[in-house]
Structure 1
């Protein structure tokens, strides 16, 4: 489990995700699962939960 940031250039917004990897037996490889935690504010360097 790790926290990742992603930038949406259309809305000019940073989003913060909780990222985990799960093994998919049908594909026989790891698959990324992400859950949105909230928005990231680069000015205050904080996470705004949604």
Structure 2
């Protein structure tokens, strides 16, 4: 698991980029990864495809 961002964002569209590395700096293989996004009373789980 890797924490991509822990911050407060303004309302509207925002972007967080992931370099495909684990928290230990290891290059992760191609696959489907899950992203959890949470805010005030709202939580969503999204899927992201990493293609190498």
TM-score (norm 2): 0.27
TM-score (norm 1): 0.27
| Structure that is richer in strand per residue | 1
Determine which structure has more spread, i.e. the larger CA radius of gyration: 1
